Chain A
Amino acid sequence: MSNFHLRKAEPKDVPDILRLIKELAKYEEMEDQVILTEKDLLDDGFGDHPFYHCVIADVPAEHQKVEGYSVIGFAMYYFTYDPWIGKLLYLEDFLFSCFTGFGIGSEILKTLSDTAVKNRCSSMHFIVAESNKASIDFYKRRGASDLSLQEGWRLFRIDKENLLKMSAYE
């Protein structure tokens, strides 16, 4: 099945984007962690200064599954900066449900890499859970390197409660 279509996300896609985000979180056994709402996605992705960009994969009506979804994949990305090498494209989320094996994932990744190159990004970055062997293999087959393993980078985070404490430091 090759007639899926990749396009830039529009405001009307927000319900599908949230549905797919929750599907991906469920796959990582983290569904209860998703607190983002459709309103957040709309305000943050389609205002004057978007925090993210999104590419959608959809299929024509005759290929829709029983539930009737035409949007079957998405990738959420934004631009970041490395003071050593400049602009980067950061792939935040990436999911293609139901139709795995039809090359949709590869096609989305190709589109994003093309976006990275066209925007003069020297690299595309993302994180993968080490337990997600299928994804790690998928990316390594395409030339990605594991910075955590190879260079010892560890991702750290401060959540809201400690962020508030930190911001109050005099």
Chain B
Amino acid sequence: MDFTIRAATLEDCKDISRMILELAEYEKASDQVKITQRDLEQDGFSKNPFFHGIIAEVPEHHKSREGHAKVGYSLYFYTYSSWKGRAVYMEDLYVMPEFRGKGIGKALMSKVSQLGLAAGCTQLNFTVLDWNKSSLDFYLKQGCWDVTSDLGYHCMRCEGDALEHLAQGDL
């Protein structure tokens, strides 16, 4: 199947927002999505963006059942490893179910890799849910390794009240 991979623009935020919700549903967490299309426009397309996006698009005659031509996306940003330096973090990678198995996911990930390498990054990091077997298999096949499993690194979070208390110096 014919598809193109290109940088996301402001106009893509409507479809990115739609697909973010689809991905959240797949991860059984759609009630946790607070970011709107408008937030994406401001946070991703202003002078100092907090993320970058790439889109997978198919031609007219291959549009989805509901008429969408933008059928996949990836959101990424640059991070820093205190051991290795510049790194790229792939926050989201998603392809609509009816377009899977055609190399679109791999092409999106390949693009993020290219952009990361061009920016001087030496590693690409991302997280995967442990029950997501098809994604885990896909990533392991691409030469990725499980840092949590191999090095025992756990992802931690401090948010909401805990963050506020920490900021105020309460213990």
Residues on A close to B: CB < 8 A?
21, 24-25, 30, 33-36, 40, 44, 51-52, 76, 78-87, 90, 92-93, 106, 109-110, 113-114, 116-117, 122-131, 136, 139, 141-149, 151-169
Asked whether any CB of chain A lies closer than 8 Å to the CB of B98, the reply is: no
A36-B83, A84-B32 as given contacts; A110 in contact with B117, CB under 8 Å: no
A147-B156, A156-B128, A156-B146 as given contacts; A86 in contact with B35, CB under 8 Å: yes
B35-A142 in contact (CB<8A)? no
Closest chain A CB from B24 CB (angstroms): 6
Asked whether any CB of chain A lies closer than 8 Å to the CB of B65, the reply is: no
B155: nearest residue on chain A (CB-CB)? A147
Closest chain A CB from B154 CB (angstroms): 4
Interface of B, helix, strand, loop or mixed by DSSP: mixed
A154-B75 in contact (CB<8A)? no
Asked whether any CB of chain A lies closer than 8 Å to the CB of B134, the reply is: no
A84-B35, A155-B155, A157-B125 as given contacts; A116 in contact with B82, CB under 8 Å: no
Residues on B close to A: CB < 8 A?
16, 20, 24, 29, 32-35, 39-40, 43, 50-51, 75, 77-86, 89, 91-92, 106-107, 109-110, 113-114, 116-117, 121-131, 136, 139, 142-149, 151-169, 171
What are 27 contact pairs spanning A and B, CB under 8 A? Answer: A30-B83, A33-B84, A36-B81, A36-B82, A51-B80, A51-B85, A81-B43, A81-B50, A81-B91, A82-B35, A82-B91, A83-B35, A86-B34, A87-B43, A109-B166, A116-B163, A117-B167, A125-B156, A125-B158, A143-B161, A143-B163, A145-B156, A163-B117, A166-B110, A167-B114, A167-B117, A169-B106
A166 neighbours in B (Cβ, 8 Å): 109-110, 113, 124, 142-143
